[in-house]
Structures are given as C-alpha cells and as structure tokens.
Structure 1
Amino acid sequence: MAAPPPRAGGCPIHHDAAPAGLGPTGCPVSAGAAGFDPFENGYQQDPPEYVRWAREQEPIFYSPRLGYWVVTRYEAIKAIFRDNLTFSPSIALEKITPTGPEANAVLEQYGYAMNRTLVNEDEPAHMPRRRILMEPFTPEHLKHHEPMVRRLAREYVDRFIDDGRADLVDQMLWEVPLTVALHFLGVPEEDMDTLRRYSIAHTVNTWGRPKPEEQVAVAHAVGNFWQYAGKVLEKMRQAPDQPGWMRYGIRKQQEHPEVVTDSYLHSMMMAGIVAAHETTANATANAIKLLLQHPEAWREICEDPGLIPSAVEECLRHNGSVAAWRRLVTRDTRIEGVDIPAGSKLLIVTSSANHDDRHFADADFFDIRRENASDHLTFGYGSHQCMGKNLARMEMQIFLQELTRRLPHMRLADQRFTYVPNTSFRGPEHLWVEWDPARNPERRDAALLQAQPPVRIGEPSRHAIARGVVVESATPVADGIVKLRLVSPDGRALPRWTPGSHIDVECGEPERSRQYSLCGDPADAGALEIAVLHEPQGRGGSSWIHGNVRVGDKLRIRGPRNHFRMDETAARLILVAGGIGITPIAAMARRARELGMDYELHYSGRSRAAMAFLDELAALHGSRLRVYVSEEGRRNDLAALLGQPREGWKICACGPRRMLEALEAHCAAWPDDALRIEHFESNLPQLDPAKEHAFEVELKDSGITVTVPADRTVLAALRAANIDVPSDCEEGLCGSCEVRVLAGQVDHRDMVLTRAEREANDRMMTCCSRACGGKLVLEL
C-alpha cells in the first residue's frame, strides 16, 4: 500500500481520505468531527468523555454542524486564554444558534441591547473596567458574606432535614446561590422563581439550540429579563450608597463615567445575576453528585472537614459547571500545529482540558487530594478569569460543610440525570438524595449545630491538602530525637516519595504546620518516617510533637514534596549532614547505595548520644560513612574535602546554619549547581518597611499590575488582588509559593533555590523575595 500523502498545515487527517467533505481551510473533516454535536445527550452527560477521541487523536478539529473549530487539550486552551488579542472573547455571549426573525423581533420590542461585559470585552476597554470593579471580589471583602451564606445554608437544610428525601437542586442549591448572588449584587430578593426562569432562558438563548417553536417564548423571557435588570438598576441609582456590587459600580461611574458607562452597567446587571448564581448552583450540584458517586471520598470529607477545600477544587476540575467557552481568532495563527485563519470561531472545551492526562496525572481518576487540582480551567485563566471564583469556592465549601456535618449518611437516590441542553453551562436539573432521619447526628448531639468550621477564601487547595495518618510507632533514636512511623488509617499505601522530600505536619492546629524531612526507605509504601529533634527554643512544633504525640494518635500531614533532590547522574556524590540534618541525607545515602553510585556520607554531631541512626548508617554504608563527633575532638575538615572543585561531583548538605554557611564559602569556586542545601530553619527577618522599597508586579497572563508596598510581601499583595498563589510555611523554606519570573531582577531571600537557580532569575518565592528594582513581570 502506498504511503499516505503528507498532511498540510499540521492537519491531523490524512488527505487521501475525506470521510465527510472539506472544512473551511480545505482540509478533510474526519468522521468524529462531522459527528460532533454538543447538544447531544452524550456531550450533556459527560463532555470530557464525549471528546476523548479528539483529545487523544485530533486535538483541534472543525465542526461542520457548529461552524466552530473545537479545541480539547489543556496547554492549547491555556495558551488561548493567555493571548486575548489573538483570541478575542467578543463572541463569548453571542448566540451560538442564530434565531429566526420572529424571535429577533420580540427581543427588539423589549429594547434588548446586551453589549459588552467583563466576559466578552476586548482590550483596551476591558482591563480598566475590570480594575475599577475588582475590589468587592477580593478575599478581604468576600469574608463579610460568609455569615449570610452559612445562615442560608443551615436554614434550607432545616427545611428538609427530617424528611429523609430531597431534591437538593429545587430545595436548596438553586435558591441559596441565587439569594447570595442577589445580596452580593444588591438586588432585591423578590421574584426568585421568575429570575430562575429568566436565567435558564438566557442560557438557552446564548448557548443553547432552542427549537423554532421555542425561540419566541425564550425571547420573551430574555426581553423581560433585560427590562427587569434595567428597572432594578434605575432603582439602585436612587440610593447608590447602599451595599452591593452594582451600587459599587454606580459609584465608580460617578468617578469614571467614560469607563463605567450606562450600557455597560445594564449589561453587567443582567449578566451578573446569571454568572453569580447559576454557575455556583450547577457546580455545587455536580460536586455533591460526584462525591456521592464516590462514597469513600464522601466518607473522608465527612470525617475530615479539612479536606473540603481540596475536594471543591477536584470537583471543579473533574466535573465543573463550565463545559466550554468561545473565542474569535483575530489573525492567522496555528493551534496544535494546525493553521487557523483569522475570523475563525473557537469552542474551547475547558472540561476536556481538565481531563488531559498530559497535565493531570490519571486525569479521569477522582482524587480529592490531587496536588494540582486548582490548575483547572473551569474559572478560565488570565485576564478574563472569573472574578467571582472565590465567592463560588466559599459557597461550595459551606454547602459541603453543612451537608457532611448534618447528613453524613446521605446517598444518591435512583434517578436519571438531565441537563439543560447547551454548549457551556451544565449541572443536573434535579439531584434526589435519601437518608434515614433517625440517624441524623444532631438528634444525638445538639452541639453539632453550633460548629463554625473555617472557610478558605482566595487560595487554591494545593497547600490545604491534608491526609490523616496514624502514629504506628514513636521510637527514641538519640538524645532528644524521636522517630515517628506514620501509616494510613485504613492500611492503604501512602504516596511515593523521593530522597530529599519533606512533609508538613499540622502541630495541633492547621495554621501551625512544620516541615520535617522523610528519613525512611522510599521503597516502603506502607509508611512515612520522620525524626524530630526537641527544640524548646524553637517555633513550637517540636515541643508539641514531643509533648503530645503518642502511638495510636492521628495526625494530619501534607505532601510529600521535594525541593531538595539529589543528582542521580553525579560522578561522585558528597553527602554532608549535621545533627538532625541527617534525616534527608540518610534517605539520599540509601538511594545512592541502591543505585551503585560513588558516594561519601559525612555526618557531624555534638555527641554520639545525640546523633540519630549511627548504627543503622554504619551497617548500610560501611567505610563510605565518616563520623565527626565534637566532644571526641573530631571535626569535618571542609577545606580539605571541598577545597578543590571536581568535575561531575555534587554535594548535598543539611544541618545547622553555621555548617551550611561554611559549606557555601568552601564551594564558592565550584560550579553554580554543584552544591544543593536543605535548610531546616529560616533566617528570614521580620519585614522592616523602613529598609524596603515599594515596587510593581506586572502579571503577564492576567493583564494587571499590582503594587507591592514596602510593608507587604508579594504573596500578600497578590492575594489582595484576587490572584491565586499556593503557600505553606511563608518563611522561605518550603517552596510552595514559587512563581515564574519573566522580567526584572529578583532580590532572592528564600532558603530553597540554589545559587545557579537564583542567577537564572526565572523564578522566585513570593512569600519572602522582592524586586531589586522597581518592577517584576510574573507569569500569572
């Protein structure tokens, strides 16, 4: 058989076979592309599964039925969000199914003039408006809404708690987010049923395929919705000082009339009512459905409410309420190697991106502890990322907190799930659940109703992912040092780890976590081992562990994470440990031995009694172990060991600050990446505004610039601007808050990056590092 002719312009379809004719660029349309119909039940039920074939074989294709190019992979979709000049959002609210003249005439008689909003506006108009209207969406301001959301959630659960059966959508998940949305916007809480009908009509009108006989009725509902929004807006103008985001916009219009216009406010009023509640209602219904379909995950969040923030992120990733968005190509471009001409319309299937194995390991697996779940694109990305994302997160957390606390025995009822047919927004129209009221926990414990669980606002789940472990053994291994062996409560395997990894242990409370290096055998999947030195003058973590932790106790940990990796390709590996710094070094030495590497292990301590694992290390490493005991008059001669740089040698060290500073001095002439250090104490001083200067941080992907005052960290300034950045220790030790740097010189103050990594100047730790000059440009 002859070889197929070459593919043109990156087209993934062989040009010797055109199963369904040609697309707009002259390339064949594949059978899968020809059959793609987002209004079919398959797409409505499970969009990522419906386009799996495309994600795996034809990541961008032209849909003749829709008249759009369809994009399905994570990196391509994120790049589209990042470049809002090439990929204009202007069609995001355009009718995806053109309506007939009769329906159009109906809309015209209502004066319907839906125009630009934060969702579909191009630059340069978009960012000035977004900046002006952003403040009420920041975490600091959203906290004021938390008591109301919790009160509403409890009141609605009260209504059906003793019934044993409920449709959560009809009886809670639609009305509460709508009430919250109206409260946030400052809209009267009247006509809730009417607003629900209006909202559904708006969704069908914009993203659906109403039948010809339905179009007129939909148009009447949308027209009434438009007029309702206008009337409410006019009423608000009579009392602009009252609470609510729309009144905030009216006040800002008085300051910036050329930016915040009348037509803009009218369009935002209507769009805001839909955006602020429908996506949250759908997302919560999807999340509860998903969790109850995975009873083990439901049980875990019932037993450990601290997992709820991370469960919310994984639910948003795995089964979010936004299936797809749209963009207009403004200039000839290439996507996934395929030439796409200017004027093309794109359907970017974000729900498919969230199931892309290239970015999310085992993406179809539902894992409420997934570390990168908050990378999902359900809220979009970049300058048009959903401003209400943290309001939605807060509501979802509170709903799950109340339901897991009061109805942990809840289960899905037998039912068939239906969805309003459209390309972009999805959630079950009904969600029937059942339970036995006799088993309601509050019947036995009335104090249950008084609990006020914490809510995380404005932070991704990554640093909040905790797992419960049990202390299987607590063994003294040296004076003042106890080794804890931690196992899973249900006997299952724990996450795999590599030498140099650490875990974060919550020492009595979630807000007080401390990092401890893993010192056991990485091949032992049944347990994680740490060794903790009692430091009475430390930050309190070790004292808490030594004073409180006993065999059989349950602890909460996060990780493992590794920012201290050994180079397994080194020609010779020099491992240097001082005191409790032996913990990560011991695991590295074990790995080097297994690999048959050329290595040396140098271990220093005050006294043999204070040095952990000496006998074990001697048995494993024999003559490769060199021990230096101060009270015996023997010290490690670092000048002799490292005075001469050696080709291909790598040094890994952990120990007291003085030892590490001496190592850095002796390795000054070595290649920049030869020495890698793990600090277990921070030398980060308190931020002194008198010694700092303010600077700007430009967020390239978000299109905004944030000022970092002299008295705030970059991390704090980003959070205040509603930008998600994970963090944990906030002392420059753990590396959680790392971001990519595109321009500007960084004043590095962390204890994570090597000298070579600092000189590369392409990343920084936002909790402590600052700008040398007046500006940094970050990939955020």
Structure 2
Amino acid sequence: MSTDQASTPERGCPFDHTLLTGEQSPTGCPVSKRAAAFDPFEDEYQQDPPDYLRWARDQEPVFYSPRLGYWVVSRYEDIKAIFRDNITFSPSIALEKITPTGPEANAVLDSYKYGMSRTLVNEDEPAHMPRRRLLMDPFTPEELAHHEPMVRQLVREYVDRFIDDGKADLVEQILWEVPLTVALHFLGVPEEDMDTLRKYSIAHTVNTWGRPKVEEQVEVAHAVGNFWQFAGKVLDKMRLDPDASGWMQYGLRKQKEHPDIVTDSYLHSMMMAGIVAAHETTANASANAIKLLLENPQVWQEICADPSLIPNAVEECLRHNGSVAAWRRIATKDAEVGAVKIPAGSKLLIVTSSANHDERHFSDADMVDIRRDNASDHLTFGYGAHQCMGKNLARMEMQIFLEEFTRRLPHMKLSPQRFSYLPNTSFRGPENLLVEWDTAQNPERKDRTLLQARLPVRIGEPSRHSMTRTLLVERVTPVADDVVQLRLADPHGKPLPRWTPGAHIDMECGSPERSRQYSLCGDPEDTSVLEVAVLREALGRGGSQWVHGNLSAGDSVRVRGPRNHFHMDEKCRRIIFVAGGIGITPVSAMARRARALGLDYTLHYSGRSRASMPFLDDLRDLHGEQLHVYSGEEGQRNDIPALLASPEEGTQIYACGPVRMLQALESATSHWPAGALHIEHFVSTLQALDPSRENAFEIELRDSGLVLPVAADQTILMALRKANIDVQSDCEEGLCGSCEVRVVAGQIDHRDMVLTPSERAGQNRMMACCSRARGERIVLAL
C-alpha cells in the first residue's frame, strides 16, 4: 500500500486525509502527493505514459489531478466500464480544448467564423448512433479492401525514394505523408487541395490537446481558423460532384436522404475532424510500432522471417505503444469508478495506454509478445459505441508498412537519437524516427522478385492464423497402425508455452487454410517440446494425410496455441477416463496428471486392435491396474451402460473418441448429475447453412449500441464482421472456441462442439461462428 493511502478509507475516499498537500479535490478530499504532481505535459509522460502511471495502476487507480482539473483513471476494467456507459460518462468533452485559450486567440477564431460542432467522437445519444449507422458502410472490411492497392503502391513509391540512401527519417520521409494522403483519398479530397490541408492538420492537435504558450495561441488560432475555412471550401467543391468516391461524398448522398441527421454543420465539422482522425493517429501508430519493433531486434527478425505474424504484431504494437494515450469523458451524474465516488460534472482523463499495460488483464504486459492471444483486447481504438470507426483502415496501413519494411529493409536498425513528442495529453508519436542500414545488403539488389511479392492484408480483427509459431519437427515416431507421434521444438531451443492436460494446438497442414486441431499428449511439465499423435484418416479432410505423407525429422510446421477447452477438475473426488482410438491423446495427459496428484481414477481404453492403439505399453507401465483395455479384435468391449449404471456424487467423467462412443456416453450418463460428463470432440457435425431451414434474427450489441440483422444464410460472425465489430475466429466449425462471445439476454441455439451441457444451460456464452438465436433477438456483450 502506498504511503499516500489510508488503511481505513474515510467517506469512501481511498486516500489518507491526514496527508495534506495543500490541494483539494472536488469532493473536499486532500489530494495525494503523487496525484498532485501528475503532469501529462511533462516529458516523462510523453516518453512512456504506461510507465509514468505504473504507481497509479498499483496504488491509486483513480485519482484527482489539481493541475489538470480532471479525475485520472488508469486501470483496464475501470476504463472499459467507462467506455461501456457512454450515458453516465459523456464523450462531449473529447474535443474540448484541454488548455483554455485566452481572449485574443478566441477573437482570432471568431474572426474565421470557427464553428466546430459535434462529431462522431464527441456527440451524445440520441444523436450519435443514428449518424454512426448512416455513415458506417465505407469503413467495413469489404469496402476498405478497395483502398488496399492504392495504399500498397503509395508505400512502395515512398520507400523507393530512400531505399538506396542507407538512412532515413521515417516520420519525415514516409510515415507522416502516406497516412495523410491515404486519409485525404479516403475522404474524397481533390488532389489539388491536399498540400494545403497537410499544412493545417497539426495545428488542430495542438489547439485541442496541447498546451500552447500564450504567445503561441494566436498563431495556432490563425492556423485552425484557416483550416476551418479551407475545409468548408473543399466541402463546397465536393457538393458539385456528390457521386464521386470518398467518405465525404458518401455523407453528402446520405444528407439528401436524411437531412435532419446529416446536417451542413455536421459535415463541415467531420470534414475537419476526419482529416486529423484518419491521419495523425495512423501516422503516430505506425512510427510507434516500427520504433518498438526495432527496439526489440529479435522480434523484428521474427516478423522478417515470418510475415504472417504481422497482423497480430500490429495489434501488439497498438497495445504496447499505441498512438492514443488517453481519452476524455465527463460525468453526467454522480457515479463511482473503481470504488471512488465521482461527482456529477467531473471531467475524466481515461489513460488507455495505461490500461493496455494493466497486468490484471495482460500477463507480462511490459513484454512485447507478437503472439499474445488477447493483444486485440487493447483499448487504443476505444470500446463500445464510440470505438474508432477507422480502426481497420489504420490496421491495413500499418500492416502494409511493416510488410514493405520487413521485406525490403530487414537489416534496418535505429540510429542513436533522443526521441521527442509533441506535448499533449492524448496523441503521441515520435516527431522523428531516424534509421540506418547497409545498402549493400538490400535484399532486392540480389532478388528483384521481392518487389513482386504481395501478402494478403487482414482487414479486420486478427485471426488466430496470425499468431503462429514455427516449430522444428524433432522426431516422427510410429506409435500404432497408421498413427505417428510428432515431437515439436523451438528451432532456437527456447522454452515453449506451458499447457494443461486437455489442451490442443492448431497445426497448419501445408497451408493456413488447412488448419487442424491436435490434442497434446506429452508431459505438461516439459516445456522443451510439444507432442501430438496423428491418425491417418483416409476419408478425412486431408490434414492427417498431409502429416503422414510429408512430415519428417528436420521439417518445420506452423502451430498456434496451446489452448484448452477441455479442462480437468483437479479437485474432484474421483475421475473415470474413457478413450477410444486416437481419443487417447488428450486423455493420456489427463491420466498422467491424475496419477501425479494421487487422485482416485480409472482409465478405460478401447480400440479396434491392440496394434491400432497408440501408447498402450507406456500406459500399462504408468497406470497398472487403473488401466482397462478393450480390444475389439479380441472380442472385448467396454460396456458403457454397465460402467456408468450408478451415478457417483463427486465423480467426473472425461472422454474422447469416436462419435458413436461419445453418443453412448451421453445416453449412459443422462441420469448423472449435470456437468459430470466432459467430452472432447475431434470432428465437427456442422452442416452448411440451409436458408430454407433457418430463421433470421437480430443481435443487439449492448456495449456498441448497435442492432444488426442476421440473415438466414448468415452466421453471427459474418454479421459482426460486416458491421466492423472485432471478434477473433479460427476454425469456424465450432471446434476451437476462438469466437466465443458473452450473451446478456436471449435464448441460444448451441451448435458448437466446445461448451459442456452445463455451460450451454447457463445461456451466457456462445460461439459466433455457428450458434444462433432461438428467438427474434439475442443481446451480446460487445
């Protein structure tokens, strides 16, 4: 506990009222010493906001800053809760000048008839959501895909300008101009007006989020006024050709249909705000990402060697070193954040960059982990109804930047330098980014085909496919008829992720599109290797055939995970393990763990013949009398109804094997306590959607404020992607559990192979790739 905190909170205040700093919060509480010293305009905050606020996350997650006149919030769950409730915590001050300007600067703005009004960023309901819905379509992944060739060509042309120089300031020479040009193209700004608008955009940032000195305020006000007037002229020019491409022209067309929603003043404000929003945040995010990766050369080399890691590397960079450090909100009524009472009218600085380093949500949060499976949980784009609509445009640009640099300049490194940032509370990126390289090592000098390479860009949330690691096949060992065991290790000898019995990995069998789930069957305590066993299936989908026909010692494979949806309860009274054929793989690891813990267990293992049953000798040596073997060739059969005839309180059953065996287990345990049977499925029973047999329904997104239709020929996952809502996915067959979403209300038609009967009965989670609503509407926590 900090010395600034009290052990006995007074009136709900977490701070010690005996420590007087001479400063008072709006509640009359004394302000702690560190809170009184908080200054987001000083260089320490600019250099590393998460580290600057580490003390707050640990000791005073919500505190009042007298210097700023804001309550500062630093933890992940508190900030997400604020984003979720945009009624109590209004975004109306998001674009308010954080440093009020003097009368002379205000007079200058008035002379330009500056009239910046509400935009998508800072307007309240009920005005916000109707406008957002009307203007959202150009931001969907399908529409953004049309911009990819232009972005790729632009990035390549800019790199061409300095590729043979051996050094560059990436901010000055590419990262500032390319996102601005892309932003202007996206908005539909005529080419002849681009250079003028480039000059004005930075003034808007300083005017809104910075702390210009009194003598600078007038100069900034003139620039902002000129920006405002010029934006209006460009908008008038667009009105002459409203059918042209561009988001602003799209808005003009929507204005004709809904003049009361898309007004003239609104379009003028969005014209100006849109340039800044689509430009500076992406420019800064790109610079931050490249800086972070070059500061971690081993990570940089990993994505150079494996560009498929780039999409999730982008997410990790946005989490670890994003361009949006903080947002602002105002409390519309008395509220509570993190057990601290916030009076109505209080202003809040919600430091999302601090939330992105909260160890309560991101393990090893300070580490750069480009395979982090929850990297896209970051709050850099915000969350809920006001989440950044342009997030996928930014992701696309950042992916293309990284693809181009890792392919053409893998030997690039940072030059010695001191990084500087424009002092402001909210948006951060280095003003310069100096890099250098040996031009003699430029790969394209030896291989011109590099310039023809083109990776598919992931537009939208990162797939699990972008979190792969390349492993070395140490051994391929036959362990039964048509069954081989693969021993996989890190090619550099690094430890592999820990896993628990029941976990599986996703392995790419020749291509990312042919990804298969294989249960881990080795020793969970051994972090040097991952082991799986693969049965050759003549009538399968091709994965096992590829493994048996192509893999040998010394080869490489790409895997994701481990992940576990088949957890073993280590505190239960007794366990019955049931396995059939290759289903022994997860069960063997569970039985090994049960033995190590000294649990009461039995293992029932069935197979066509002893020769077809992998690990039989090892299992007999390890489990002795606890193992019961049933060989069909020898006339032995596991009598499942007899085995499970009498329900046993506190006994759990874990099973994996052929569908018929699993169906028999479900029938035999129908009279057992709910939740006693746990099944791992290898095969999906999903069929292609038949629109003639499906019902259309609606999904209400509680946190985003959207209501989306799901057609009879559409999955929930498809509808979410179309609406630009982030949900991860992988197998899309209901097997892997990647696309799980929380359900707030409504009845679920479960079709996955992941959730247990008791989890299904809870009606609070579902797989978006396959499950559906039973009624007309279902409410999701998204």
Give the TM-score normalised by the residue count of structure 2. 0.99
Contact kept? 1:9, 1:339, Cα under 8 Å: no
By how many angstroms is 1:540 displaced?
1.1
Q: Mean alpha-carbon deviation: is it higher for 438-447 or for 538-547?
A: 538-547
Q: List per-residue Cα deviations over 1:469-514 (Å, max 9, x = no partner).
A: 0000000101111100000010000000000000000111112211
Q: Who is 1:554 aligned against?
A: 556
Cα 1:461–1:11, aligned 2, differ >3 Å: closer, same or farther? farther
Q: Who is 1:337 aligned against?
A: 339
**1:125-274 map, 5 Å:** 125-190=127-192, 192=194, 194-274=196-276
By how many angstroms is 1:195 displaced?
2.8
Q: Who is 1:749 aligned against?
A: 751
Contact kept? 2:118, 2:266, Cα under 8 Å: yes
Q: Mean alpha-carbon deviation: is it higher for 361-370 or for 70-79?
A: 361-370
In the aligned structure 1, how far is the partner of 2:623 from the partner of 2:334?
A: 62
Q: Who is 1:513 aligned against?
A: 515
By how many angstroms is 1:193 displaced?
5.0
In the aligned structure 2, how far is the partner of 1:324 from the partner of 1:681?
A: 45
Q: List per-residue Cα deviations over 1:517-565 (Å, max 9, x = no partner).
A: 0000000100000000111211111111111111111111000000001
Q: Who is 1:684 aligned against?
A: 686
Contact kept? 2:686, 2:734, Cα under 8 Å: yes
Q: Who is 1:55 aligned against?
A: 57
Q: List per-residue Cα deviations over 1:242-278 (Å, max 9, x = no partner).
A: 0000000000010111111111110000000000111
In the aligned structure 2, how far is the partner of 1:279 from the partner of 1:39?
A: 18
Q: Who is 1:773 aligned against?
A: 775
Contact kept? 1:463, 1:736, Cα under 8 Å: no
Q: Who is 2:46 aligned against?
A: 44
Q: Who is 2:30 aligned against?
A: 28
Q: Mean alpha-carbon deviation: is it higher for 354-363 or for 452-461?
A: 452-461
Q: List per-residue Cα deviations over 1:383-420 (Å, max 9, x = no partner).
A: 00000000100100000000000000000001111111
**Equivalent of 1:651, from 650, 653, 660?**
653
In the aligned structure 2, how far is the partner of 1:219 from the partner of 1:184?
A: 27
Cα 1:463–1:332, aligned 2, differ >3 Å: closer, same or farther? farther
In the aligned structure 2, how far is the partner of 1:335 from the partner of 1:76?
A: 6
- Which amino acid letter does the alignment assign opposite residue 242 of structure 1? A
Q: Who is 1:84 aligned against?
A: 86
Q: Who is 2:322 aligned against?
A: 320
Q: Who is 2:705 aligned against?
A: 703
Give SS of 2:539's match: coil
Q: List per-residue Cα deviations over 1:713-740 (Å, max 9, x = no partner).
A: 1111110110111111111111111000
In the aligned structure 2, how far is the partner of 1:349 from the partner of 1:84?
A: 16
In the aligned structure 2, how far is the partner of 1:570 from the partner of 1:473?
A: 36
In the aligned structure 2, how far is the partner of 1:301 from the partner of 1:5?
A: 48
Give SS of 1:689's match: coil
In the aligned structure 1, how far is the partner of 2:331 from the partner of 2:573?
A: 51
- Which amino acid letter does the alignment assign opposite residue 460 of structure 2? G
By how many angstroms is 1:9 displaced?
3.6
In the aligned structure 2, how far is the partner of 1:350 from the partner of 1:422?
A: 14
By how many angstroms is 1:461 displaced?
5.0
Instruction: Provide the identity percentage.
Output: 74
Structure 2: gaps (5+ residues): none
In the aligned structure 1, how far is the partner of 2:647 from the partner of 2:603?
A: 18
- Which amino acid letter does the alignment assign opposite residue 660 of structure 1? L
Cα 1:729–1:5, aligned 2, differ >3 Å: closer, same or farther? closer
- Which amino acid letter does the alignment assign opposite residue 536 of structure 1? A
Q: Who is 2:367 aligned against?
A: 365
**Equivalent of 2:531, from 520, 529, 532?**
529
By how many angstroms is 1:586 displaced?
0.4
- Which amino acid letter does the alignment assign opposite residue 750 of structure 1? D
By how many angstroms is 1:460 displaced?
3.0
Q: List per-residue Cα deviations over 1:645-703 (Å, max 9, x = no partner).
A: 10000000000100001100001111111001000001111111000010000000000
In the aligned structure 2, how far is the partner of 1:554 from the partner of 1:5?
A: 56
- Which amino acid letter does the alignment assign opposite residue 96 of structure 2? E
Q: Who is 1:763 aligned against?
A: 765
Aligned length: 778
Cα 1:193–1:254, aligned 2, differ >3 Å: closer, same or farther? closer
- Which amino acid letter does the alignment assign opposite residue 256 of structure 2? Q
Cα 1:213–1:747, aligned 2, differ >3 Å: closer, same or farther? same
How well do the aligned residues superpose, as a CA RMSD in angstroms?
Answer: 1.0
Contact kept? 1:463, 1:558, Cα under 8 Å: yes
By how many angstroms is 1:463 displaced?
4.9
In the aligned structure 1, how far is the partner of 2:538 from the partner of 2:208?
A: 63
In the aligned structure 2, how far is the partner of 1:476 from the partner of 1:277?
A: 56
In the aligned structure 2, how far is the partner of 1:602 from the partner of 1:610?
A: 15
- Which amino acid letter does the alignment assign opposite residue 296 of structure 1? Q
In the aligned structure 2, how far is the partner of 1:533 from the partner of 1:633?
A: 23
Q: Who is 2:622 aligned against?
A: 620
Q: Who is 1:608 aligned against?
A: 610
Q: Mean alpha-carbon deviation: is it higher for 15-24 or for 660-669?
A: 15-24
- Which amino acid letter does the alignment assign opposite residue 42 of structure 1? E
Contact kept? 2:514, 2:543, Cα under 8 Å: yes
In the aligned structure 2, how far is the partner of 1:144 from the partner of 1:191?
A: 22
In the aligned structure 1, how far is the partner of 2:191 from the partner of 2:574?
A: 71
By how many angstroms is 1:188 displaced?
2.0
Give SS of 2:254's match: helix
Give SS of 2:451's match: helix
By how many angstroms is 1:8 displaced?
2.5
By how many angstroms is 1:7 displaced?
2.0
By how many angstroms is 1:625 displaced?
0.5
Cα 1:4–1:678, aligned 2, differ >3 Å: closer, same or farther? closer
Give SS of 2:10's match: coil
Question: Following TM superposition, where does structure 1 have runs of at least 4 consecutive aligned residues deviating by more than 6 angstroms?
Answer: none
Q: List per-residue Cα deviations over 1:613-641 (Å, max 9, x = no partner).
A: 00000000000000001111100011111
**Equivalent of 1:593, from 589, 592, 595?**
595
By how many angstroms is 1:362 displaced?
1.3
In the aligned structure 1, how far is the partner of 2:237 from the partner of 2:737?
A: 50
Q: Mean alpha-carbon deviation: is it higher for 665-674 or for 192-201?
A: 192-201
- Which amino acid letter does the alignment assign opposite residue 564 of structure 1? F
Give SS of 2:9's match: coil
Contact kept? 1:20, 1:30, Cα under 8 Å: no
Q: List per-residue Cα deviations over 1:295-324 (Å, max 9, x = no partner).
A: 000000000001111110000000000000
In the aligned structure 2, how far is the partner of 1:198 from the partner of 1:315?
A: 28
In the aligned structure 1, how far is the partner of 2:731 from the partner of 2:464?
A: 13
- Which amino acid letter does the alignment assign opposite residue 70 of structure 1? V
Contact kept? 2:750, 2:760, Cα under 8 Å: yes
Q: List per-residue Cα deviations over 1:89-110 (Å, max 9, x = no partner).
A: 0000000000000100111111
Q: Who is 2:573 aligned against?
A: 571
In the aligned structure 1, how far is the partner of 2:371 from the partner of 2:751?
A: 30
In the aligned structure 2, how far is the partner of 1:554 from the partner of 1:192?
A: 48
Contact kept? 2:23, 2:66, Cα under 8 Å: no
Contact kept? 1:177, 1:280, Cα under 8 Å: yes
By how many angstroms is 1:449 displaced?
0.7
Q: Who is 1:476 aligned against?
A: 478
Q: List per-residue Cα deviations over 1:162-181 (Å, max 9, x = no partner).
A: 00000001100011111111
Q: Mean alpha-carbon deviation: is it higher for 11-20 or for 71-80?
A: 11-20
In the aligned structure 1, how far is the partner of 2:12 from the partner of 2:506?
A: 46
By how many angstroms is 1:222 displaced?
0.5
By how many angstroms is 1:5 displaced?
8.2
In the aligned structure 2, how far is the partner of 1:282 from the partner of 1:665?
A: 59
Give SS of 1:70's match: strand
Give SS of 1:12's match: strand
Contact kept? 1:638, 1:666, Cα under 8 Å: yes
Give SS of 2:14's match: coil
